[in-house]
Amino acid sequence: MASSTSAAAAAAVSLSLRLRSPYLNPIKFSQFGFSCSKSLQLVLPCLALDASVTSVSTKGEMEKENKLWGGRFEEGVHESVERFTESVSFEAEELWVHDIRGSIAHANMLAAQGLITEGDRDLIIEGLSKIKIKIETGEFVWRKDREDVHMNIEAALIDMIGEPAKKLHTARSRNDQVVTDIRLWCRDAIDRILIRIKQLQAQLVLLALRNDGLIVPGYTHLQRAQPVLLQHLLLSYVEQLERDAGRLINCQERLNFSPLGACALAGTGHPIDRLMTSQELAFTAPLRNSIDAVSDRDFLLELLSANSITAVHLSRIGEEWVLWASEEFGFIIPSDSVSTGSSIMPQKKNPDPMELVRGKSARVIGDLISLLVLCKGLPSAYNRDLQEDKEPLFDSVKAIIGMLEVTSVFAANITFNGERIRSSLPAGYLDATTLADYLVKKGMPFRTSHEVVGRAVALCIAKKCQLSDLSLDDLRGINSIFEKDVYDFLGVENAVNKFTSYGSTGSGEVQKQLQFWCSKLDITSAE
């Protein structure tokens, strides 16, 4: 008997955990073949269930308000379904301004086409303007039983002005309405991201200007490779960001077409003017195909893809700066304003912002993957699955803006430790490739010069010295081609000065790059 009670209690505990989900129906213990004793109820008060609750518990909601689409329905929506399907909780703050703007454009077009009177149009626009003010002042009440941002605003408009508001949805579906809102939102979001990209580019150029002539080790495979100017490295980030901006601009150009008037999927028989609404909303033109207009989310995939590539670039900067701020490198000194400490280790000073930039890149990439998987199996035209496009979209944009902003702040608040960097330069034979180029200038085939310099490096390792420390006799012992002018090619300063090709790390070329970016970004000084 004790064993049976114990099993029942265990099953009840398991059930109680499951019942905490707001999406599950109330379940009676009796259907599992046991009853809940009074003592068990005392131990597990969370299991006390109201026997009067039935499988449909939306009567109260039905008495509050019928759905705007509810004409053919005899039963109300179950409260669990209502909770599960509403989107107003995560989209209202982002989309309301665009929804009102689209509705005003639609009302103007309906009046121009004689589908509503000018008087009704004026009442609709006046009402929408009042709703806009209520939202801005926090007086507007968003209702989950009205499902989404569109129904909340339309229902509030009906409450406010009555019958004229019911004409607003003429020749419009939520299918074309929502994607119009999202395109408008994305267009503005791209502008916000582009501003942050330019700000970060400017901070990187300023950082380069403040570190004129500083040579750092260049790495490949995270191994010492060749000496480069720090300015050259910083400008490489600027170039990456410029491509990121270009992708966003291209995306913005492609998304700037109007789906409004495509209705559910087939268009309408009303004499609407899609060109008029397109122009009023500053779109390039209406989308040609109404089915494609309501179902297309390519522009979201493009935007989130562009964000993901930007996130990867920022993550790579973060990785490099986190490494360079470590004691092992010591190349970067972040200011206290962009560092955090440890709860247990008093000496710690962590470059946390860039660690989080590196970490949040995973989130942005995940948003893209979520949307790709969402779209991959959908049939033509609109499907409710597409409601799930918004949270990854909003999250991706919020994350990438935050990443760009904090990277800009971090760049403005770091110092490069020139003394530490210069003391590290002798290690790694950074001038070896320049020595090989010297031999090529003497007429030696590059592959042969590669082998000769490799032997010189081996000699340095054996003698525990640098290439510039080898005597001319040492070098001639390897190959007689060496002459006294070889020392003009050895050492990191000489090596950097020998780079002259377009876009290289040579001082002259880097100055050209700096001049280009200062002009493009309107930077006049390092301050």
How far CA 108 is from CA of 103, 104, 302, 492, 497, in Å, comes to: 9, 6, 32, 69, 66
Calculate mean pLDDT across residues 39-54.
38
Asked if the model's pLDDT at residue 524 lies above 50, the reply is yes
Helix H, strand E, coil C: the string for 69-114 is CHHHCCCCCCHHHHHHHCCHHHHHHHHHHHHHHHHHHHHHHHHHCC
Q: Give the N- to C-terminal CA distance of the chain in Å, as an integer.
A: 82
Tell me the whole-structure pTM to 2 decimals.
Answer: 0.86
> What does pLDDT average to over the chain?
89
pLDDT in tens, 353-384: 999 999 999 999 999 999 999 999 999 898 88
Q: pLDDT > 90: what percent of the chain?
A: 80
pLDDT in tens, 274-299: 999 999 999 999 999 999 999 999 99
For the question of residue 337 being annotated catalytic, the response is: no
Classify residue 171 as left (phi > 0), alpha (psi -120 to 50) or beta.
Answer: left
CA distance 420 to 429: 17
pLDDT in tens, 54-98: 333 333 443 557 776 566 666 777 888 888 888 899 999 999 999
Bigger pLDDT: 272 vs 8: 272
pLDDT at position 444:
97
Calculate mean pLDDT across residues 505-511.
97
Q: How confident is the model at residue 44 (pLDDT cuts 50, 70, 90)?
A: very low
Q: How confident is the model at residue 30 (pLDDT cuts 50, 70, 90)?
A: very low
Calculate mean pLDDT across residues 220-226.
95
pLDDT in tens, 411-443: 999 999 999 999 999 999 999 999 999 999 999
Bigger pLDDT: 154 vs 26: 154
Strand 223-229 vs strand 332-334: parallel, antiparallel, or unpaired? unpaired
Asked if the model's pLDDT at residue 483 lies above 60, the reply is yes
pLDDT at position 350:
95
**Residue type (1 letter), 262:** A
Q: How many CA atoms lie within 13 A of 279 on its CB side?
A: 6
Say how far residue 263 (Cα) sits from the centre of its chain.
Answer: 30
For the question of residue 342 being annotated catalytic, the response is: yes
Lowest mean per-residue pLDDT among 42-56, 133-147, 210-224, 393-407 = 42-56
Q: Which residues on neighbouring strands pair with residue 215, listed in sequence order? A: 229
pLDDT at position 443:
96
Q: How confident is the model at residue 159 (pLDDT cuts 50, 70, 90)?
A: very high
Q: Per the residue annotation, which of 21, 30, 221, 480 is the catalytic one?
A: 221
pLDDT in tens, 91-123: 999 999 999 999 999 999 999 999 999 999 999
Q: How confident is the model at residue 45 (pLDDT cuts 50, 70, 90)?
A: very low
Q: Per the residue annotation, which of 342, 380, 423, 519 is the catalytic one?
A: 342
Calculate mean pLDDT across residues 191-219.
97
pLDDT at position 271:
98
Tokens coding 9: 């209690």
Residues 167-199 as b/e (b if ≥16 CB within 10 A, e otherwise) read: bbbebbbbbbbbbbbbbbbbbebbeebbebbbb
Lowest mean per-residue pLDDT among 4-18, 152-166, 491-505 = 4-18
pLDDT at position 52:
34
Asked if the model's pLDDT at residue 7 lies above 90, the reply is no
pLDDT at position 75:
74
pLDDT at position 438:
97
pLDDT at position 518:
97
Q: Which residues on neighbouring strands pair with residue 219, listed in sequence order? A: 224
Q: Which residues on neighbouring strands pair with residue 34, listed in sequence order? A: none
pLDDT at position 62:
39
Torsion sign over Cα 473, 476, 480, 484? negative
